[in-house]
Amino acid sequence: MIKKIGLYDSGVGGLSVVRAIRRALPGADMVYTGDTCHVPYGEKPFSEILEYSRGISAFLAGKDIDALVIACNVSSAVACGYLLETYPGMPVISMIECGAALCGGSGSVGVLATEGTVKSGAYPAALSAAGFRGAVAQEACPEFVPIVEGNLLGTAFCREACRRHCQKVAGADTVILGCTHYPLMLEAIREFLPKSRIADPAEEAARRLLEIGAEGGGRLEAYTTGDREQFEKTASLFVPGIKARRLVWKEGRLEEDN
């Protein structure tokens, strides 16, 4: 039985995973870290993403978590192996594996993701490992994370970005939302992919945790490495009324900013 779940992302996007877990396990206690001073991760070198993942996971481990969710697709691609080795007794849930698990029975799969996730090749590899043998079309969407972090949802810029990128995966039986920011853009994405099933890896992550089980008071402890007020404003789109504390990076480690 899980008592506390740790999650992290480059920004607010991972809160879509928090939201999905809350629906499945309303009593689960969670600790969330949004590394907003480094957002977006998708265009950064993999070596930097791994270093951020090391520092954040160490901070979360210090909060006595007993399950870790990498609520970021490119971090899942880059850091999952390291985290599994570092925390061998702890469930570590990867968005990549969760997304691939949702594609059973599909003849073709599309992936909307960040540039880093597409370059990693993690989704085609995970789909192949899961037994998928159909066509995989990947599309990097560099504007999507800034749209969410900048609260530009519903704008003409958002709609045009969705139209342009979705046409590259149109026709796929299943389209994976390969970044945890993208569920907030679901309405616009569905407009341009009316015939595709949209797969959100957060739902599979929540299902896997539900299988293990969790107990607690439903508390959420949130942290940001960037501007706290801006984080809370944008994060409230996922979790209304959220409050956060600020963290600072010091020589590769995270410390609370008192």
Positions annotated as catalytic residues are 72, 179
H helix runs in 87-226, sequence order: 95-101, 115-120, 122-129, 144-149, 156-166, 186-192, 201-212
Q: Which residue type occupies 197? A: R
Q: Which residue type occupies 84? A: L
Cα separation, 165 vs 175, in Å, equals: 12
If you search the block for the tokens 């481990």, which residue do you land on? 61
| Helix, strand, coil share (%) of the chain residues, nearest 5 | 40, 20, 35
Strand duo 253-256 + 244-250: pairing: antiparallel
CB 96 within 8 A of CB 76: yes
From the number of C-beta atoms within 10 Å of its C-beta (0-12, 13-18, 19+), residue 250 rates as: exposed
The residue count for the chain = 258
Cα separation, 192 vs 242, in Å, equals: 31
Q: Is the peptide bond before 240 cis (omega within 30 degrees of 0)?
A: no
Beta bridge partners of 110: 137, 175
